[in-house]
Structure formats: C-alpha cells, structure tokens
Amino acid sequence: MSIHPQLLHLIIALVITLAWVGINALVLVYLERKVAGFIQRRPGPFEAGPHGIIQALFDGVKLMCKQLLMPSGADPILYWMAPILSMLPVMLLFLVLPYGPTLTGMQVDLGVLLILAFAGFNVLALLLAGWASNNKYGLLGAGRAVAQSVAYEIPLLLSVLAIAFMTGSLDFVAITDGQGPWPWQWNLVYQPLAFIIFIISAVGETNRAPFDLPEAESELTAGFHTEYSGMGFGLFFLAEYGYMVVVSSVAAVLFLGGFQGPFGSDGWWWFIPKVYAIVLFIMWIRWTYPRVTFVQLLNINWKWLLPLATLNLLGTAFFMKVF
C-alpha cells in the first residue's frame, strides 16, 4: 500500500510546523527578555551562553522538570484538557500560513476564515482552565479572558474583512498576490486604519500587555493559570507565543505583502523578517505602556475600535462598488 502523496506532504508539513513552533517559542522567550532588558537599560539574560543565548532552553528544561500539580476538588479531565486544547490549534494555524510561493503547509481557499475560527479555540481553553481549577481567581481570570477575546475578535474580523473585500478572496496566497513587492503597493497604504485596528485587536486577542487583563498579576495573582504548574503552565505560555507569531504572520500577509520581495525574489526570507518586525513592535508596545483597567479595555474596544472598524468596512465596500 502506498501513501497518498498529499498525506505525505501533510505529515512532513506537520513535523516541520512542530519544530518551527518550538523554535519560535525559544527565540521569542529570549527576544522578549532581551527587549525588556534593553528598554530598561539592563542587559537582560546574560549568563547562560554568550549573551544568554541558551537561557530560554534552560528555562524550558526547568519548566518541563517541574512537578505537575492539580488542586483538590478540580475537574481532572477538563483541568488537563485545557492546556492541550490551548496548544493544539496553534499547529493547525501555522499549517495554513504561506511562507513562500511554494512553501505552504496546506493551501486552503478559506485560510483566513480557518485562522479566525480556530483562534477562537484559545478562548475555550482559557475558560476551561479557569473553570476547572476550582479557584476563584482562576474563574475570574477566565471570565475576563472570554469577555476580552470575544470583544476584540469583532474589530479584528472587521478589519480582515476589509482586506478580503479588496482582494475578493479569503485565500492567503491570493491576498499576497493581490499586493506588489514594494511597500507602496502593500495593503497597508490603502488600509492604514484597518492595519492599526488589526494590530490593536491582535494585542488584545493574544492577551499581551497593555491588554493582559486575564492574567493581571496585580489583581488576580495570575488569572486563569493560577493553579497550573510546570508544563501545564508551559503549554499556555507556548500557545501565547504561538498565537503571537500567527497574528503577526497574518498581519504580514494581509498588510505587508507577505512573502513578496522586489525583483522577483519572493520567499520566506522576506516573510520571516516582516513577521518578526511586527513581533518586535508588539514587544515594544508591551514594555512601553502600563496595563489598562478592564473598563478601559472594553471601552477602547466598544467605543472606538468597533465603530471605526465598521466605518472602515463600509467605506471600503463603497469604494469597491464605485470604482
């Protein structure tokens, strides 16, 4: 019996994606600590390896070696399912991203829709984690996570929809091809408002500062993952960084021309720097702004982002119809 070539392709893509997710997490943990250090004018990790290069690896090993604990009275199935549920969809999300003209794990016509749909999984995972922990702080954190993610998903969707209107497709490759290699041919120029809304919503969606309310250490002692130890917490952590890369990749595809480069030099060597530029920008935001309160968070979303995104979408639709 021979293996179907497409199945083989998928398996290889999955393995590479797994490795890529792991490497990304390591690099991002290191990068985040370094960026934080430099912004605060200290060196950041420095001792393990030259300039602390292998610090992230040691952190990972330490996390894996820690004992897994479960609070008494917690629901064991839901409790252990939550971190896994948070991590698993991340692989799927990475699979549909177009890294290059031929380098796509799985090209689907509805790639954008797939990402938006499965990104919602994370909310479910957070809710389960908080609910099953038998801990009031966990439950409060979960409630906040849901309120926040649901709220920020709407402007995110609307800004993505504006791009989909322009291209007339939900396929990542088609959207990439709809833009040119040079910066003035990117969607960013035609849709600056959508880009700003997308980035703000993405920061809200990935629970990063200044919108990291679900894990506000100052009020909730850590939010939905209060009770998780070792790799239970590690998986949430990995997923968070995974989602960060995913939203940055989506932003790069939608607004920065994806894998396109000048003089026909398309490929992942254009895609990855664009993604990491956005990741760095999100980190920069994190270490600049203080955390907002929950009221402010929801106000920003419902009073500003949502009306603006709606207006932007209507405007786009109008222009597409008229011209």
Partner 1 sequence: MSAVKDIFQSVKDLWSLFVGLKVTGKYFLQPTVTVHYPRQTVDPEVEQTFGGHVELVPKPKNPAKPKCIGCMMCVTNCPSGCLTVVKAKAPKPTPEEEQAMKEAEARGEEVKKPKAPKEPAKFLYDYSLCSLCGTCIENCPVGSLQYSHNIYFVGTSRKDFKLDLLKRLERQAENAAKASGTAPKAETAEAASKEA
| Binding residue (CB under 8 A) for partner 1 from 168, 189, 217, 289 | 289
Q: Which is nearer to partner 1, 43 or 273 (CB)?
A: 43
| Binding residue (CB under 8 A) for partner 1 from 42, 67, 218, 322 | 42
Site string for partner 1, 43-82 (x = CB under 8 A): x--x------------------------------------
Q: Which amino acid is at 8?
A: L
Q: How far is the CB of 265 from partner 1 (least distance, A)?
A: 29
Q: Which is nearer to partner 1, 285 or 298 (CB)?
A: 285
Q: Contact 215/224 with Cβ under 8 angstroms?
A: yes
Interface residues for partner 1 in 229-288 (CB under 8 A)? 284-285, 287-288
304 makes contact with partner 1 (CB under 8 A):
yes
Q: Which is nearer to partner 1, 26 or 35 (CB)?
A: 35
Place of tokens 């999300």: 93
Place of tokens 């506000």: 216
Q: Which is nearer to partner 1, 136 or 303 (CB)?
A: 303
Site string for partner 1, 108-147 (x = CB under 8 A): ----------------------------------------
292 makes contact with partner 1 (CB under 8 A):
no
22 makes contact with partner 1 (CB under 8 A):
no
Rg over CA atoms, the chain: 20
Q: Which is nearer to partner 1, 27 or 70 (CB)?
A: 27
| Binding residue (CB under 8 A) for partner 1 from 12, 40, 61, 69 | 40
Q: Which is nearer to partner 1, 42 or 321 (CB)?
A: 42
Residues of the shown chain interacting with partner 1 in the complex, contacts defined by CB under 8 A: 35, 37-43, 46, 284-285, 287-289, 304
